[in-house]
Structure 1
């Protein structure tokens, strides 16, 4: 087999084997992922679902080597359907723009593999080369930009770290009549407890959000949010820090352990993406067709 394996294309996860004294790759994976039984790992090995960096299937007796890159395919037994539907707004040779509904993950993670926006689009558009150029939270709705062509992918990927793309959000949250808008909120965000929640900590700011009020409706206001940086959960943490947690947020300011309530989605919408096309030139601007009701 040639070394043309693309784990993004094949929807594989990648692990760089950590330091340890395991005799085999199998032993390392069993300890690293205790929720998956040894029998399940052996079954994946036997079906060619655990590969080396060049895409070659590994055997159960393959010797462990620190730093070795291993690709493996995530599987979830009896994955529950998510009863929401995405909408493709635009597609050409290079890009696909999609309206993601609330509750649908962008990529496989946790208990979600097939019920993700990426896997749905690969099947729907019959394009295994699709790769998301950015992420939005599972609880957030709105625009997600996908690369459809590996040849032009890097041009569009650079838009995000180089901050050459504007991402406009809307949120519904409690009124803040005591604050002056528009305002800029900056803080240092780091992972907290549990690991998937973020928290503001002392230190130099690594996140910045611009906020304005778009509409007032009694105790609830509609906010326009422009994230200058792209930290995990940034808008959700910043709004909670301002004193107006986004309506129906299950993580901030306190963690709720209840099941998904499809009648009470997080009132946060990725409403607009605007950028200069690095390939053909000219401005591109996409607007979500979803709305946040009161």
Structure 2
């Protein structure tokens, strides 16, 4: 459920009045400057997918509280700018039948090899079936936070912060793109090309009815990918090495599709297909193979490599 942009995940540097539950951190929202007869009336109106009786049940369990941890009740008056905490709840989720692998752990970082189909963080219809929630639950790591993300459809290396005291240092490094990412992809052949080569284009968000994809337009390039061939596997699929020099949404997928070699099993490019739901038979053949950087704390080089392989299904 959403709150029209108001609900947020708990932040580690703030007091959180509700504990992590089964790996799921509580969410919060700031009540807007509006007039409502009661807090309950506001919640029922703003969260149409949650019934009146469901809110009553959550309040009775003490799972709706204010910023100080005080339980809120059906009689609680509506107070503008109050911060309200609650647990996001979804109907039972279809289990993602693939497991993650921990590649490295120290006092600061947890590096994980993510499978296809598993979102990194809770979003949309995914809550417990996400990499972050699985790791928090299985390893009892309430302060775990991803430093960067991969698409749900993409497998490979993801780095998490374990230590709130050093998190900002690593996040800053990633935001400044002080790392090297290398992906692999199975896609249609590109005969006649001289490899490696660099592809550049100007990428923007999709139209209003296709906000979930990116598109290319005329203008100064703002995306760049180095493309090479690792193996010419068949007449239908080559294995490519993709090194993005920028980090636009769906950059690798759009660039390959624009070249006439869409990544195998891509449901968005070159044509956005109907949602496959929980069909796990045909994963996108895109893998975050390696992630390398100079550690900002030790000044030593570090590199992490996925153990997964790509194959046509």
Unpaired stretches in structure 2, ≥5 consecutive residues: 1-13
Q: Determine the structure 2 residue equivalent to 1:286.
A: 304
Which of 4, 27, 50 is matched with 2:15 structurally?
4
Task: State the alpha-carbon separation in 2 of the partners of residues 234 and 57 from structure 1.
Answer: 45
1:130 Cα shift?
0.8
Partner SS state of residue 268, structure 2? coil
Q: Determine the structure 1 residue equivalent to 2:224.
A: 208
Task: State the alpha-carbon separation in 2 of the partners of residues 56 and 244 from structure 1.
Answer: 56
1:49 Cα shift?
3.2
Pair member with larger Rg? 2
Q: Does the Cα contact within 8 Å between 1:190 and 1:201 map onto a contact in 2?
A: no
1:292 Cα shift?
0.7
Partner SS state of residue 286, structure 1? strand
TM-score, length-normalised on structure 2? 0.82
Unpaired stretches in structure 1, ≥5 consecutive residues: none
Q: Which shows bigger deviation, 122-131 or 173-182?
A: 173-182
Which of 36, 51, 55 is matched with 1:41 structurally?
55
Q: Determine the structure 2 residue equivalent to 1:239.
A: 256
Q: How does 1:1-294 map to 2 (within 5 A)?
A: 4-5=15-16, 11-17=25-31, 21-53=35-67, 56-60=70-74, 61-65=76-80, 69-181=83-195, 182-192=197-207, 193-202=209-218, 204-217=220-233, 218-253=235-270, 254-294=272-312
Partner SS state of residue 152, structure 1? helix
Matched residues, number: 291
1:56 Cα shift?
4.8
Task: State the alpha-carbon separation in 1 of the partners of residues 96 and 199 from structure 2.
Answer: 36
Would the alpha carbon gap of residues 52 and 72 (structure 1) be closer, same or farther in structure 2, given more than 3 Å must change? Answer: same
Root mean square deviation of aligned Cα: 2.7
TM-score, length-normalised on structure 1? 0.87
